[in-house]
């Protein structure tokens, strides 16, 4: 992708509304608890920013996802959510980096910040399902070894994260549904954490906002695929 343009120039009015609204919600939620963890605020702001760009098919969103993954891993480590830490450092962030490279290499048109949408074929789906099962099983025993808090839901998060991250790498519109499912799992997980420590309330709001952004991403990518002429290559 040559001649990368200012990503904010392509924002539509409703996308400005989604992004700014997300930033405001996250910031307000951060101000509510008496005990505040500024790292959660930074991570949340980076996260919601990455999602609006990913929803637009802009590769800079994947770069920001890598940064978010690092911050989120530190937060997860502090609460002994080793599953989240290992998942983001060892899986989500590396896949996001690979996706960023892939997206930069597969623009829809040269000079535009939009990736070429692809269609995932049956063989790829079969491989993805097998890999998801294998990765989830392996992570279960790893997380159990480290006495991970909320082991069952952490394991489910591994599965949904792997599927979603893989679909972004494959440039499929279904990535949005994958991450939306993962958001629901994480909302439940951080509700449990917030019961013990109210300073984690922003993480609940963060992933609630993520859910909205990921749903928008799925809808917008379907529109992008139609606009690109239904010529998405099968992988």
| pLDDT number for residue 6 | 81
| pLDDT number for residue 167 | 96
- pLDDT per position in the chain (235 positions), as tens? 556 778 888 889 999 999 999 999 989 988 887 777 888 889 989 999 999 999 999 999 999 999 999 998 998 888 777 877 888 898 889 999 999 999 999 888 876 789 999 989 999 999 999 999 999 999 999 888 888 878 899 899 999 999 999 999 999 999 999 999 999 999 998 898 888 887 778 778 888 999 999 999 999 999 999 988 755 455 5
pTM: 0.86
Kindly report, residue by residue over 68-111, the tens digit of the pLDDT: 999 989 988 887 778 778 888 988 899 999 999 999 998 888 76
**Domain segments of the chain: what residues?**
9-227
Three-class SS of the chain: CCCCCCHHHHCCHHHHHHHHHHHHHHHHHHHCCCCCCHHHHHHHHHHHHHHHHHHCCCCHHHHHHHHHHHHHHHHHHHCCCHHHHHHHHHHHHHHHHHHHHHHHHCECCCCCCCECCCECCHHHHHHHHHHHHHHHHHHHHHHHHCCCCCHHHHHHHHHHHHHHHHHHHCCCCCHHHHHHHHHHHHHHHHHHHHHHCHHHHHHHHHHHHHHHHHHHHHHHHHHHHHHCCCCCCEC
């Amino acid at each position: 992708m040559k001649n990368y343009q200012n990503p904010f120039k392509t924002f539509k009015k409703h996308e400005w509304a989604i992004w700014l609204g997300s930033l405001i919600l996250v910031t307000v939620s951060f101000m509510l608890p008496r005990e505040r963890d500024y790292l959660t605020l930074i991570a949340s702001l980076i996260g919601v920013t990455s999602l609006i760009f990913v929803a637009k098919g802009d590769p800079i969103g994947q770069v920001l996802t890598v940064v978010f993954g690092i911050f989120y891993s530190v937060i997860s480590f502090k609460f002994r959510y080793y599953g989240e830490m290992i998942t983001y450092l060892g899986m989500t962030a590396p896949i996001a980096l690979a996706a960023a490279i892939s997206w930069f290499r597969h623009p829809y048109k040269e000079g535009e910040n939009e990736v070429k949408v692809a269609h995932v074929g049956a063989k790829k789906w079969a491989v993805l399902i097998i890999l998801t099962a294998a990765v989830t099983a392996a992570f279960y025993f790893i997380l159990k070894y480290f006495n991970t808090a909320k082991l069952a839901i952490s394991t489910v998060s591994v599965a949904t994260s792997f599927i979603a991250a893989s679909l972004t790498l494959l440039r499929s519109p279904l990535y949005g549904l994958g991450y939306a499912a993962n958001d629901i799992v994480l909302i439940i997980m951080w509700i449990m954490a917030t019961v013990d420590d109210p300073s984690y309330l922003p993480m609940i709001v963060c992933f609630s906002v993520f859910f909205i952004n990921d749903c928008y991403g799925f809808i917008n990518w379907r529109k992008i695929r139609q606009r690109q002429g239904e010529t998405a290559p099968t992988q």
